[in-house]
Amino acid sequence: MMGGAAVCLTVNNPEPDRLTIAELLAKFPSKFAPVDLSGHAIPGYRLVLPGGITRVVPLEIFDFYSWSRRPSYNLQTATQRTLNISGYPVTMFSLEWILREKILSQDERQGSAKQATDIFDLKSIMPFALPGKPKMNFDKD
């Protein structure tokens, strides 16, 4: 839901030696490739499908230390749960967390084409959200 990326990564790494997007693409060309997004290169993961077909899946990397205006990206406090999928732990943010971030994104993108997509997403997920969950409280951030 976030930004339309097929895969979203949240990074919790304050170290100054973390890889930049350019370094990621240069050091691991068999795993990552650039994806053009409105004239900007973002990383894409080379996903190999059954039958050997390769698709480059856009990634969005949310680094809490780079997004200080979004305290909800802090993995230590974010509402999340971990599922076991095919033997791998997969951490998912709660529906309330996703809904809250989508509302904030929609508000920031008023008047843009992305606002219409945000509103569509909100209408789709809102019936599943439960009122009173911690991430639904906008007054405490």
Q: What is the structure's pLDDT at 1?
A: 34
* Residue ranges making up the domain that contains 10: 1-78
Same domain? For 60 and 122 the reply is: no
- Residue 25 within a domain: yes
Question: Are 119 and 68 within one domain?
Answer: no
105 and 45, same structural domain?
no
Tokens coding 126 = 């809102």
Q: Looking at residues 120-141, what average pLDDT do you find?
A: 68
Asked if 126 contacts 110 with a C-beta cutoff of 8 angstroms, the reply is no
Check whether residue 109 and residue 72 sit in a common domain: no
66 with 7, same domain: the answer is yes
Structure confidence at residue 109 (pLDDT):
86
Chain-centre distance of CA 67, in angstroms?
Answer: 12
pLDDT of 3 = 44
Same domain, residue pair 44 and 103? no
Residue 63 in tokens: 């680094």
Q: Is residue 55 part of a domain?
A: yes
Q: Are residues 22 and 72 in the same domain?
A: yes
Residues in the chain: 141
pLDDT digits 0-9 by tens, 4-43: 444 555 555 566 566 677 777 788 888 888 888 777 777 8
The CA-CA-CA angle for residues 107, 105, 17, to 5°, reads 140
The confidence score (pLDDT) of residue 71 equals 64
Say if residue 5 is in the same domain as residue 73: yes
User: Is 85 a member of any domain?
Assistant: no
Which residue type, as a one-letter code, is found at position 16? P
- Three-state secondary structure call for residue 134: helix
> Model confidence over 89-128: pLDDT tens digits?
777 777 777 787 788 888 888 898 888 888 888 888 877 7
**pLDDT, tens only, 37-76:** 777 777 888 888 888 889 888 776 666 666 666 666 666 6
By CB neighbour count within 10 A (0-12 exposed, 13-18 middle, 19+ buried), where does 113 fall?
exposed
